[in-house]
Amino acid sequence: MSRGDGIKDVIRLGLLMQESFQGLSLQDIQDEFGVSRSTAIRMKRILEEVFEVEEVENYYSPVKKWRLSKKPFTKLVKFTAEEFAELENCKSMMKNMNYTNRCDLLSEIMAKMAALNEQKAVKTDIEALLEAEGYAVRQFPRYKMNMTTFNAISEAIKAMKYVTFSYENKKGEKSDLKIQPYGIIYGEKTYLLGYNEEKKGFRTYHINEIKDLKIVDEYFDRDEKFNLKQYLAQSFGVYQENPMKVKLLFSKDVKDAISNYNLHPSQKLKQNPDGTTTVTFEAGGRYEICWHLFRWGKDVKILEPQDLKDTYKKLLDDAQGQMG
């Protein structure tokens, strides 16, 4: 399909949405134009950039439908999906740092903004943006980030377009890559999560090591079954390893601290009669788990698995060797 044909389809979609009282769903757009769900979403978003698209109330079906608003003008001031998503991310960060009272206040502010906005269709875009961004488990001091590259990646994720860039990995190996950008992972470092067609799998790329990034004028169909939160839950940090069942024992001296601490989304806590706390979770990333456990010092003991015990002991021996 040429670019001209794409423009004609968007214009025809606008006419159909204007004439439809019941509105059109994403499946309706797919059926009408013979396109994928990702393309249907893009066509709807293009219309929303120019016209006011409203969600049709339907109490008898969970399927969302949209039509063009009959209002002659949109409001001069609107809150965009990006702004709402950024506030949602800020709320998540504050929740991770136990600023619960601030989270409640921010929720109230966002509710007032949503009431003023009167754009129900924006909610879909907010969900899509939040799906494209995820916070790593640990909230440590972070490296400075190349914001030019970061902003370009964000644009590519929203547009579902390929990106190309040069990259040097930890081994010093350089390569030129073409990647489907899926998300941004925040942690001590900030990473691009992308699907590498050549490797046939998802890979993470430290944004500061990405050079000469360009957005390609070529769309990709995002895997609708992919869920960033589920993907991150498989690991303790950023790097993906085969998940292992971890069992830790924390001393009674840190009972209150560990009961209010989130080691991993899948964790389960058990308070023992002697005052100790047993924490279990399933995740990969043995080095990152060990690095995090160092902060608990003598108040934590690894019960399972043996591989994690061995890794922890090796790291301690290496550190002592450097001191000696």
Stretch among 76-90, 144-158, 219-233, 285-299 having the lowest mean pLDDT: 76-90
pLDDT value at position 85? 72
Confidence band of 67 (pLDDT split at 50, 70, 90): confident
pTM of the model: 0.47
pLDDT band for 173, please (50, 70, 90 cuts): confident
**Structure tokens, 312:** 């922890």
3-state SS assignment for residue 186? strand
Instruction: Report pLDDT for 87.
Output: 74
CB contact at 8 A, 8 and 29: no
Q: What percent of the chain has pLDDT over 70?
A: 74
Q: Which residue has the higher pLDDT, 323 or 261?
A: 261
Smallest CA-to-CA distance from 80 within 49, 39, 38 is with 49
Residues of the chain with CATH 1.10.10.10: 3-68
pLDDT at 74: 45
* CATH architecture assignment, domain 244-323: 2-Layer Sandwich (3.30)
Four-way CATH pick for 3-68: 1.10.10.10, 3.40.50.300, 3.40.50.720, 1.20.120.530? 1.10.10.10
- The CATH-assigned architecture of domain 147-224 is Roll (2.30)
Q: Kindly tell me if the per-residue pLDDT of 215 is higher than 50.
A: yes
CATH 3.30.70 residue ranges of the chain are 244-323
- Please list the residue range(s) of the chain that carry CATH number 2.30.30.520: 147-224
Check residues 75 and 32 and name the one with the higher pLDDT: 32
Query: Exposed (0-12), middle (13-18) or buried (19+): which is 139, by Cβ within 10 Å?
Result: middle
Q: What is the pLDDT of residue 216?
A: 95
Cβ 192 vs Cβ 207: under 8 Å: yes
Q: Name the band, by pLDDT with cuts 50, 70 and 90, for residue 218.
A: very high
How many alpha carbons lie under 13 Å from residue 235 in its C-beta half-sphere? 19
How much is the mean pLDDT over the chain?
79
Q: What is the mean pLDDT of residues 261-279?
A: 87
> Which residue did the predictor score with more confidence, 116 or 119?
116
Position 127 scores a pLDDT of 56
Q: Which of the residue ranges 168-172, 289-293, 319-323 would you say has the lowest mean pLDDT?
A: 319-323
Residue 181 has pLDDT above 90, yes or no: yes
pLDDT tops 60 at residue 1: no
Q: How far apart are CA 262 and CA 114, in angstroms?
A: 30
Q: Residue 138 — pLDDT band, cuts 50, 70, 90?
A: very low
Higher-pLDDT residue of 210, 228? 210
Q: pLDDT value at position 158?
A: 84
Residue 139 in this model has a pLDDT that exceeds 50:
no
* Model confidence band, residue 141 (pLDDT cutoffs 50, 70, 90): very low
Q: What is the mean pLDDT of residues 176-181?
A: 95
Chain centroid, CA 93 distance in Å: 13
What's the pLDDT band for 180 if we cut at 50, 70, 90? very high
Average pLDDT over residues 257-269: 81
55 phi and psi, to 5 degrees? -80, 135
Tens of pLDDT along 27-46?
Answer: 999 999 999 999 999 999 88
